[in-house]
Amino acid sequence: MDRLLIRGGRQLSGEVKVSGAKNAALPILATALMVPGKVRFENLPHLNDVTTMLQLLGRMGVEVLLDDTGSVELDASHMNSIVAPYDLVRTMRASIVVLGPLLARAHEAEVSLPGGCAIGARPVNLHVKALERLGVEFEVTDGYIKGRAPGGLVGGKVLFEKITVTGTENVLMAAALAKGETIIENAAREPEVSDLADCLVALGAKIEGIGSDTLCIQGVEQLHGGTHRIIPDRIEAGTFLVAAAATGGSCTLTDCEPKHMDATLLKLEEAGAHIDRTDTTISLDMQGRRPKAVDITTVEYPGFATDMQAQFVALNAVAEGSGRVTETIFENRMMHIPEMQRMGAKIDLHGATASTTGVDRLKGAPVMSTDLRASASLVIAGLVADGETVVDRVYHIDRGYERIEEKLRRLGADIERVRV
């Protein structure tokens, strides 16, 4: 098992290239199941979750050809299975996004109930209820969601009672090959959902309202091959910006998409960062100053992302003043706080709100990751702590960050991966 060893106390400074977005890549890879031919996806991040998704597609008979440019070619001409088995799905909740494509292409699917991070319930009932509106009949037996639409999918009206990113993605993919028109209301507006819609359009789908909370899909008989470039990862970008800000340093991000990051950038400016942006770069400079504490409430896009919550708790831990961070999307997503308290952070947790009074320095300590973004926050805490911090269970961080220790070293961090 790997650990990250961090010797803190250095101001970060330098340039980092942002990888492709994990949360966009996973459903986009799943679209290959819908195409009886070759598709090519570029800017694919090299992550454990991506590897798992490719293994899952391969298990279903999809031919996978990776190259060294960060691109993958997939060919589902000879797809031979509609089963997403437990041994792969258990490690990654996002595997549920194969449900819609399988139902669209084969009119049946068997998907194991998903696993992944322990950050609370992310029920699939919203997916099931929505896909039933398109004519799918479901049963849940032996830990599998089994869906069938013997006569094919039929367009319908779907109103999500609660915004769900993967639910929107599953219905969007299913509707692309359904007969007639499908309207999705209260759809998720995240950039990753829009990227999936743009990918589907490139493969022949007919979708209107991309980027809004109402999507209108005219079903087509068949999708065709094509190429799509995956958007940059706004969460990875935000994580490096927060790391630089917490250390009082500076950094420039390249190959990013600033327009997807307004909520994060506004809070960094509130924390005292000077930020310059172009169409594809972001530069942050704290000019050696300690950050100021900020108040945050997570909310669906375009609000403040739940996936950036933990990183800002780490920033508040060493900031001037007091700040409150409230999580409204997932329960149990404050498990990083006891670990930060062991490092000397002054944080009071009341329900889903973390109230922090910043300290001058944290103290290095052995800490344990509990989920993907908690891992990133503990790395940031280690970067600003005196002495050595050892972050255990880094397989969590490898699910969503591509070679994080190498990128942080480019910014001047003293960090290394240790195998034990």
Q: Which residue has the tokens 């068949």?
A: 222
- For residues 72 and 99, the answer to whether their CB atoms sit within 8 Å is no
332: left (phi over 0), alpha (psi -120 to 50) or beta: left
- For residues 111 and 98, the answer to whether their CB atoms sit within 8 Å is yes
* Sign of the CA dihedral running 123, 100, 165, 188: negative
Burial 164-199 (b: 16+ CB within 10 A, else e): bbbbbbbbbbbbbbbeeebbbebbbbbbbbbbbbbb
Three-class DSSP category at 148: strand
CA angle 295, 373, 10 (to 5 degrees): 80
- Is residue 199 among the annotated active site residues? no
- CA 258 → CA 18, 103, 296, distances in Å? 11, 35, 19
Tokens matching residue 82: 């509609």
407: left (phi over 0), alpha (psi -120 to 50) or beta: alpha
Tokens matching residue 92: 């990654």
- Give me the catalytic one of 117, 199, 251, 256: 117
Give CA–CA dist 326/208, Å, rounded.
34
Q: Which of 394, 404, 393, 391 is nearest to 7 (CA)?
A: 391
Q: Which of 50, 62, 3, 51 is nearest to 25 (CA)?
A: 50
Tokens matching residue 45: 């991040």
- For residues 389 and 381, the answer to whether their CB atoms sit within 8 Å is yes
Q: How many CB atoms lie within 10 A of CB 267?
A: 21
Three-class DSSP category at 115: coil
Question: 285 has which bridge partners?
Answer: 250, 274
Annotated catalytic sites, by residue? Answer: 117
